[in-house]
Each structure stands twice: as structure tokens, then as C-alpha cells.
Amino acid sequence: MRAFVEQEAQHFSQHRKFNELIKSKGYPDLANLEKEMERYYARLDGASLRKRMAYTSGFETMTIGLTRFMVNRRRWLFKDADPRVASLMLWHIVEEAEHKSVAVDVYRAVCPGYPAWVVGLFHGAFHVLWMAIRGARSMLVRDRRFTLASKLRLAGLLASFFITWLPVLIKSLLPGHHPDHIEDPLWVRQWIAEYDDKEGVPLLDTSHDDIPARFA
Ligand SMILES: [Fe+2]
Ligand SMILES: [Fe+2]
């Protein structure tokens, strides 16, 4: 649990720096979404332990599908993208795979209860997804690129995400399921092996056709 919190704290601090940079580069509207999320989480802080734990372990379960989507579709998402941005996103999602079972194990040990967990899964997953869509929309509007073409691309991206994510969601909802039953993609295991003796966030080669889990 301590390692999980430390890992998430690292994610927070790196994404904090990234978000500050993005906002300073011409997307100040994102600050409103951040404030909205802060208010939301402040309210959630007052909820029962069961509800907060179900939100966390539900969201963490959903990241397994997100890992699969981002890794399988990495060429489509990140080919020729800024390697610093691609590496930050994929670094985060690999670490989500590393700690995928922690929140579920803690939930089951501290406040077991299947119905509340299912509610938490939908709550956590769709809340974060909804905020991500709004963030993307806000940036496209700012760029004056929220055109029919980009709406269709966004819809295509969401459809592709759901095709990968839904089987994971269905498996996760089966009673007796454990996140460890879902194998990590090979690319994730290669990253973890490659990263073993490295420091900091490594850089991927996004100009490579396959964006392999090898670092510059
Ligand atoms: Fe994280
Ligand atoms: Fe996580």
C-alpha cells in the first residue's frame, strides 16, 4: 500500500508539472477543469471509507483496460509525437499495470462488499473518462480545431478505446475475479525489464515504426 501511494505521488508530481506547462502554453481554460476536479474530490473526501475505497479500486481496475489500449494503439496515438509526452503517458500506464491489484486487495480486506465495488468501478472509471473528454474538447476548442473532422476522430478514438476496454470491464465484474488474472501486455513486461537499472523517466523513440520499449 505504501509503495502504491508513493508511485501515485510520483505520477501526480510529474503530471502536475506537465499540466502547468500545458496551461502556460495557451490552454488556461484547463485550470477551470482542474478546480472542478479539486472541488469534486474535496466532496468525495467527506464520503464513507467504503465509497472512497470503491472509487479508488474501481478506477484502478479500469486502468488495466487503459494500459492495454494505450500500449496496443501506441503507434496510432504516439507515432512521431513529442517523445517526452509519449514517454510520460506510457511510463504512467506501465506503472498502473505494476500496481493493478493493490487497491482491489486493500478494498477486499478493509471493506468487502461486491455491490458497492461495482458502483465504485463505474463511478471511478466514467468520472475520470468524462473529465478527460472534456479536457480534450477544451483544448481543441482553444485551438479552433473542434471541427467535424476532429469530432469524428475523437469518436473513433473513444470507439477504439471501448472495444479494448469492455472485455476487461466484463471480466472485472465477474465475482471472484482478481486483477492478477489478466496478463500484462508483452510491451509492458519489456518496459519493466528494460527500466530495471535506469533512473528517472526514460525517453522512447517515437520515430520508430513500432515504438519499442527501448530507451534512448
Ligand atoms: Fe497513476
Ligand atoms: Fe494507479
- What is the average pLDDT across 32-44? 97
Give the distance (Å) from ligand 1 centre to CA of residue 8. Answer: 5
Tens-digit pLDDT profile for residues 75-127 = 999 999 999 999 999 999 999 999 999 999 999 999 988 999 999 999 999 99
Give the distance (Å) from ligand 1 centre to CA of residue 60. Answer: 8
Grid cell, residue 211, equals: 515504438
C-alpha dihedral (65, 48, 102, 10), degrees to nearest 10: 80
Tens-digit pLDDT profile for residues 121-162 = 999 999 999 999 999 999 999 999 999 999 999 999 999 999
Give the distance (Å) from ligand 2 centre to CA of residue 144. Answer: 33
Q: Which ligand is nearest to the CA of 100?
A: 2
Give the distance (Å) from ligand 2 centre to CA of residue 148. Answer: 34
What's the pLDDT score for residue 110? 94
Give the distance (Å) from ligand 1 centre to CA of residue 147. Answer: 31
Q: Which ligand is nearest to the CA of 12?
A: 1
Tens-digit pLDDT profile for residues 45-77 = 999 999 999 999 999 988 999 999 999 999 999
Residues in the chain: 216
Cβ atoms 23, 35 nearer than 8 A: no
Give the distance (Å) from ligand 1 centre to CA of residue 148. Answer: 32
Give the distance (Å) from ligand 1 centre to CA of residue 140. Answer: 25
pTM for the whole structure? 0.93
Q: Which ligand is nearest to the CA of 57?
A: 2
Q: How far is CA 114 from the centre of its chain?
A: 23
- Residue 215 reports pLDDT greater than 90: no
- Residue 198 reports pLDDT greater than 80: no
- What's the pLDDT band for 201 if we cut at 50, 70, 90? low
Q: How far is CA 83 from CA 11, 27, 71, 165, 208, in A?
A: 17, 21, 15, 25, 11
Q: Which ligand is nearest to the CA of 92?
A: 1
Q: Is 28 helix (H, G, I), strand (E, B) or coil?
A: coil
Give the distance (Å) from ligand 1 centre to CA of residue 114. Answer: 24
